[in-house]
Amino acid sequence: MTPFSDLPPARCDVFEAMRSRRSVRAFSSRPVERRVVEQILELAARAPSGTNIQPWRVWALSGRPLRDLTARITAAHAADEPGHAEEYPYYPDQWVDPYLTRRRTLGRELYRLVGIAKGDTEAMKRQHGRNYSFFGAPVGLFITIDRAMNTGSWFDLGTFLQSILLAARGFGLHSCPQQSFSQYHKIIHQDLGIPGDQVIACGVALGYEDETAPENRLETEREPLSAFATFNWTE
Ligand SMILES: Cc1cc2nc3c(=O)[nH]c(=O)nc-3n(C[C@H](O)[C@H](O)[C@H](O)COP(=O)(O)O)c2cc1C
C-alpha cells in the first residue's frame, strides 16, 4: 500500500487538532484498526529531522502482546520490584520555579479530579500505576532512539511524537505520551526483543477517550504568549 493513498478525510483541521489534543488518561475498550495506526505513523514520519536522519523507531502493541507486557510491568510496579530505574534523566535533579509550581498544579488537579486526598500515597501509587496499562488504551506504542544519537536527535523524536498525537486527532483518537515507561525499560527490552542499542524514550497510549472518566476532565493551562515569547519586531 502506497503511503497516504487510502487516507480517509481528517476528522478535524490542523488548528482543531492542536487545540483539542490533550493527554487522556482513561480510554474506552473500542478497538483501533491496525491500518489506522499504520497511517498515523506514516503521517508522523513526515516530521522533520536534522539532515533527515529519521532517528525514531516505533513498537506498536495491541491485543495479547499489549495485555501480557502491561500485566508484567504493572506487577513489577505494584510490588516495588527492585532493579528498575529510568533509562535516561527526563526531569532536572533540582526542581526550580516556575517549573516546580506548574508540575505541582498538574498533580494537584489530577488527584482532585480522581478523588485522591493529599498525602494518600497508596492511592497516588495506584493512580501512577495506571500508566502501565496504557490507561486502558487498546493501542500502546513505544518510541525508541538509537543510543548512538546525540542530544539534538531528541528534538527529532519530539517532532515525531507530536505528529503522532496530532495525526491521532485527525482519526478522532486521543492519546497520552508516557515517559513513565522508561522506569521499566528492562522489561520492555526483554519482552519485545528490542535491541540494546535502542533507548526506550517513551510510550504513547492511543485510543478512544472514555468520556465518563473524571481524569479526562483535566484541563491544563498555558502561559500567555507574553510570558514566553519576545518580539523584536518592526512592521
Ligand atoms: C514526553 C512526554 C512524556 C509524558 N509522560 C507522561 C506520563 O508518563 N504519564 C502521564 O500521565 N502523562 C505524561 N505526559 C503528559 C503531560 O503530563 C501533559 O502533556 C501535560 O500535563 C500537559 O497536558 P496536556 O497534554 O493535556 O495538554 C507526558 C508528556 C510528554 C510530552
Please tell me the predicted confidence (pLDDT) of residue 143: 98
Is 32 within the bounds of a domain? Answer: yes
Domain total in the chain? 1
Is 235 within the bounds of a domain? Answer: no
Q: Please report, for the domain that includes residue 154, its CATH number.
A: 3.40.109.10
Find out whether the beta carbon of 174 lies less than 6 Å from any atom of ligand 1.
no
Ligand 1 centroid from CA 233, angstroms: 33
Q: Are 4 and 41 in contact (CB under 8 A)?
A: no
Q: Are 207 and 137 in contact (CB under 8 A)?
A: yes
Please tell me the predicted confidence (pLDDT) of residue 211: 97
Percent of the chain residues past pLDDT 70, beyond the cut: 100
Averaged pLDDT for residues 32-50:
98
Please tell me the predicted confidence (pLDDT) of residue 107: 97
Q: What angle do CA 212, 76, 33 make, to 5 degrees?
A: 45
Is 229 within the bounds of a domain? Answer: no
**Residue 43 backbone dihedrals phi, psi, to 5 degrees:** -65, -45
1 or 181: which carries more pLDDT confidence? 181
Is 35 within the bounds of a domain? Answer: yes
The secondary structure of residue 105, as a DSSP letter, is H
Residue 2: band (very low, low, confident or very high) from pLDDT cuts 50, 70, 90: confident
pLDDT above 70 for 1: no
The pLDDT tens digits of the residues spanning 148-183 come to 999 999 999 999 999 999 999 999 999 999 999 999
pLDDT above 70 for 9: yes
Ligand 1 centroid from CA 229, angstroms: 22
Find out whether the beta carbon of 180 lies less than 6 Å from any atom of ligand 1.
yes
Averaged pLDDT for residues 46-51:
98
Omega before 98 within 30 of 0, i.e. cis: yes
Range of the domain at 167: 14-85+147-219
Residue 3: band (very low, low, confident or very high) from pLDDT cuts 50, 70, 90: confident
Is 48 within the bounds of a domain? Answer: yes
Find out whether the beta carbon of 102 lies less than 6 Å from any atom of ligand 1.
no
Task: Tell me which residue of 146, 167, 168 sits closest to 157, measured CA to CA.
Answer: 146
Q: Are 113 and 218 in contact (CB under 8 A)?
A: yes
Residue nearest to atom 18 of ligand 1 (CA): 23
Is 128 within the bounds of a domain? Answer: no
pTM (predicted TM-score): 0.97
The pLDDT tens digits of the residues spanning 102-147 come to 999 999 999 999 999 999 999 999 999 999 999 999 999 999 999 9
Find out whether the beta carbon of 165 lies less than 6 Å from any atom of ligand 1.
no
Looking from the CA of 143 toward its CB, the CA atoms found within 13 Å total: 29
Neighbours of 118 (CB within 10 A): 8
Q: Which three cell numbers stand for residue 100?
A: 516546580
Is 151 within the bounds of a domain? Answer: yes
Is 175 within the bounds of a domain? Answer: yes
